[in-house]
Amino acid sequence: MTDQKKGRAQFSSKFGLIAAAAGSAIGLGNIWKFPYITGVYGGAAFLFVYLGFILAIGLPVMLSELIIGRKSRRNAFGAFKKLTPGTPWMFIGSFGVAAAFLILSFYGVVAGWSIKYIIFSVTNHFQYCSPEQISKVFGSFIADPLDPLLYQVIFMLMTGAIVIIGVQKGIERYSKVLMPILLIIIIILDIRAVTLKGAGEGLRFLFHPDFSKLSFEGVLSALGHAFFSLSLGMGTLITYGSYVNKNDNLINTAIQVTTADTIIAILAGIAIFPAVFAFHIEPGHGVGLIFITLPNVFMQMPGGYLFSIMFFILLTIAALTSAISILEVVVAYFTEELKIKRQISTVLATALITLLGIICSLSMGLFSEFEVFGLNFFDLLDFISANLLLPIGGMFIALFIGWAFGKYKVIREVAHGGKLKGWFLQIFMLLVKFVAPIAIFIVFLQGLNILDIIVALFSGNH
Ligand code: TRP
């Protein structure tokens, strides 16, 4: 990335953007959250619906965010103010900043668990443990009022420090080399997992769909996770797009990042579910699924001791490159809109998010009694941010590109870096104008039981 006259950094190469965007997309969402919610919502049917959302909604929204960022050269909030001054569109940016706050608070907690697992791996803590014992160790660790906070705070300090150092050094350098290594380790885990006794049942669970078992709530979660996993709906990629060179091809970037993200999630699923069934773990176990499953696999693997250490180090780094991109949304907003100095913005944002995260962490133990709509604080923040704020943000981003920005500006902005084929433009405009917004709206109505609630309200009035 080189500094330009206007003082705005730019990615120095095309690979810089792809690496940074993939670094943002690939993280705990793929390796922790995807297997855990796929397990909760019953497996293959959830996976297929998720893949459908990635294609029909995720990909077009990703391209939209990159277009908005590159055209405006602003953060998620300022972008809309610049492109359509004096209109309410900039509220999309406010949603994004709110979502970033909530997501990073619980994200930091889970990343902290990953750090703790580096230590568990180094000390060979799970040696000779049965699957039940591993599950107990994990359960009492996350419910502890102090231990998980320590690791969460360490993780948040690392995130804040990298954001202070700056976009280039922080993001570009690390993700290029390390993510391919993570990929290799996951593939090795896959090979071990599918050769375990009883692996077939896990593969069937992951790939053989039974749509009758999928609830509307599951469909809503699949939608929310498509946004979460691709880092969409809150302006992360608007902010990254604002650093992109005018000559880069945004379509290829969007396709490559989406493909890489989806492949990693599926490979993580292939590492987890065969093992889940082989070790008789409940697939719908919840937030701890990978943490109670993977130690069993590492123990049954030649070199498992080292692989386990490497895996959790790389998982933590993958989480870090994602966390940086979430924090960057808040920091860019503080610096560019509220005119607070970058260092102070970063310290402030990191501190506030860490505090909220502490409450999330405590909701696993001390505060577990406190529930809203049957969800503890951790799950509540996850639900509000991933299943509500991101899809709403994504819906408005699609509407913005489809209706306010329009076809001609899209052609001009996208064709900078390559030709735009007619059919591609038609499909893209159709998706952002109608398909994505309407689909998101319908999933909302069904997933949140809004129709039922309205009917109940009206019938109650009679
Ligand atoms: N996509 C990341 C993951 O899968 C998390 C993330 C980073 C994110 N930036 C985001 C999620 C922006 C939503 C919005 O782990």
In tens, the pLDDT along 183-220 reads 999 999 999 999 999 999 999 999 999 999 899 889 99
321 CA → ligand 1 middle, Å = 10
User: Which residue range(s) make up the domain with 140?
Assistant: 2-459
16 pLDDT above the threshold of 80 = no
State the distance from the centre of ligand 1 to the C-alpha of 24, rounded, in angstroms.
Answer: 6
Ligand 1 site-directed mutation target among 65, 162, 171, 326, most atoms within 8 Å of CB: 326
230 CA to middle of ligand 1, Å? 6
Q: How confident is the model at residue 132 (pLDDT cuts 50, 70, 90)?
A: very high
- Which CATH number characterizes residue 26's domain? 1.10.4160.10
- What residues flank ligand 1, with Cβ below 6 Å? 24-25, 27-30, 103, 228-229, 231, 234, 236, 322, 325-326, 390
pLDDT over 70 percentage in the chain:
93
For the chain, the three-class secondary structure string (H helix, E strand, C coil) is CEECCCCCEECCCHHHHHHHHHHHHCCHHHHHHHHHHHHHCCCHHHHHHHHHHHHHHHHHHHHHHHHHHHHHCCCHHHHHHHHCCCCHHHHHHHHHHHHHHHHHHHHHHHHHHHHHHHHHHHCCCCCCCCHHHHHHHHHHHHHCCCHHHHHHHHHHHHHHHHHHHCHHHHHHHHHHHHHHHHHHHHHHHHHHHHCCCCHHHHHHHHHCCCHHHCCHHHHHHHHHHHHHHCCCCCCHHHHHHCCCCCCCCHHHHHHHHHHHHHHHHHHHHHHHHHHHHHCCCCCCCCCCHHHHHHHHHHHCCCCHHHHHHHHHHHHHHHHHHHHHHHHHHHHHHHHHCCCCCHHHHHHHHHHHHHHHHHHHHHCCCCCCCCCECCECHHHHHHHHHHHHHHHHHHHHHHHHHHHHHCHHHHHHHHHCCCCCCHHHHHHHHHHHHHHHHHHHHHHHHHHCCHHHHHHHHHHHHC
Name, in order, each residue with C-beta under 8 angstroms of 430's C-beta and a sequence gap of 6 or more. none
CA of 25, closest atom in ligand 1: 1
Please write the tens of the pLDDT for every residue from 312-362: 999 999 999 899 989 988 998 888 888 999 899 999 999 999 999 999 999
Contact (CB, 8 A) for 165 and 246: no
Tens digit of each residue's pLDDT (9 = 90 or more) over 23-39: 899 999 999 999 999 99
Query: Which position has the higher pLDDT, 109 or 332?
Result: 109
Q: Whose CA is nearest to atom 2 of ligand 1?
A: 25
Kindly state the average pLDDT of the residues 297-304. 92
Determine which residue's CA is closest to atom 8 belonging to ligand 1. 231
**What pLDDT sits at residue 9?**
65
Return the pLDDT at 312.
96
Least confident of 6-20, 50-64, 424-438: 6-20
Reply yes or no on whether the pLDDT at 289 is more than 90. Answer: yes
Nearest CA to ligand 1 atom 12: 231
For the cut 50, the answer to whether the pLDDT of residue 4 exceeds it is no
Q: What local confidence, expressed as pLDDT, does residue 152 receive?
A: 97
The tens digit of pLDDT for each residue in 156-170 reads: 999 999 888 765 555
**CA 186 to ligand 1 center in whole angstroms:** 20
Tell which atom from ligand 1 comes closest to the C-alpha of 232.
14
Would you state the pLDDT for residue 5?
41
Measured in angstroms, how far is the CA atom of residue 277 from the centroid of ligand 1? Answer: 29
Whose alpha carbon is nearest atom 14 of ligand 1?
231
pTM: 0.93
Atom number of ligand 1 nearest to Cα 230 = 1
Q: 301 CA distance to ligand 1 centroid (A)?
A: 31
Q: Ligand 1 centre from 444 Cα, in Å?
A: 21
- Closest ligand 1 atom to Cα of 24: 7
Position 123 pLDDT exceeds 90:
yes
The predicted pLDDT at position 77 comes to 82
Residue 418 has pLDDT above 70, yes or no: no
Instruction: Tally the domains of the chain.
Output: 1
28 CA closest ligand 1 atom index: 15
What's the pLDDT tens digit per position in 29-73?
Answer: 999 999 999 999 999 999 999 999 999 999 999 999 999 999 998
Task: Please report which confidence band the pLDDT of residue 172 belongs to, taking 50, 70 and 90 as the band edges.
Answer: low
Q: Rounded mean pLDDT of 377-405? A: 92
pLDDT of 417 over the 80 cut: no
7 pLDDT exceeds 70?
no
Which of 61, 325, 328, 384 should be mutated for ligand 1, with most atoms under 8 A from CB? 325
C-alpha 236 – ligand 1 centre gap (Å): 8
Residue nearest to atom 6 of ligand 1 (CA): 231
Please tell me the distance between residue 456's alpha carbon and the centre of ligand 1 in angstroms.
Answer: 36
Ligand 1 centroid to Cα of residue 199, in Å, is 30
Contact 273, 286 (CB under 8 A): no
Q: How far is the CA of 29 from the centre of ligand 1 (A)?
A: 7
